[in-house]
Amino acid sequence: MGKKRIAVLCSGGGTNFQTIIDGIKAGEINGEIVLMIASTKTAYAIERAKENGIPVKVISKAKCGSLENAYEKRHEALVECSPDLIVLAGYLGILLPKTIQAFPNKIINTHPALIPSFCGPGMYGHHVHEAVLNYGAKVSGPTIHFVNEQVDGGPIIAQDCVPVLPDDTPDTLQKRVLKLEHVLLPMAVKKFCEDKIRVEGRKVIIDA
């Protein structure tokens, strides 16, 4: 079985991106990262890509003149590199409907809450953890899911939970959730690259 071609989109530090790099280096993920697209030139994920010889394209709003142009350029870059899998690793933008249609059940996203709670438009980053704390939820955790045209609405691949503690802040909760993201995301990518993930309607079946 040949290696899967993986494209990654990042907007920030790229710690989730690093887990995929590490999994490939360790021989646990049968894939190759053929492109990392950064949505801003200040994303530290760019340094991670350069350190590991991964091709990088910075396709930012500033560079393209508008968000619409940036989304179009990102679409073109993804189609051009013909990935088997696209991973949104801390990516704060959206994908065009035609991008999602071009890669059905081939785009994986991480969300820092237990979908279908605390998700949808405007729910990203610290906004999510603030909402969890304000609601008084007792548990939270990451969701790894496929991307469809509904924000945070695609079939769920994996979830795990952490307790929400009485003295939690958005920062402390975010750190605990992120630790689990660093476990679940590379697991999902590994299984995808082994052709062990099947989607049946809204259900995702992962073969052992």
Could you give the residue numbers annotated as active site?
A: 111
Each as own residue / partner, the long-range contacts of residues 59-66 (CB below 8 Å, 24 or more positions apart, any chain) are none
User: Which among 25, 48, 28, 19 has a CA at the least distance from the CA of 36?
Assistant: 48
Helix (H, G, I), strand (E, B) or coil at 32: strand
- Report the C-alpha gap between 79 and 83 in whole angstroms: 8
Question: Which residues face 31 on adjacent strands?
Answer: 4
Angle (CA) 194-116-128 rounded to 5° is 100
Are the C-beta atoms of residues 132 and 92 closer than 8 Å to each other? Answer: no
Rg of the Cα trace of the chain?
16
**CA 148 vs CA 29, 99, 159: distances in Å:** 24, 10, 18
Buried b (16+ CB within 10 A) or exposed e, 112-127: bbbbebbbeeebbeee
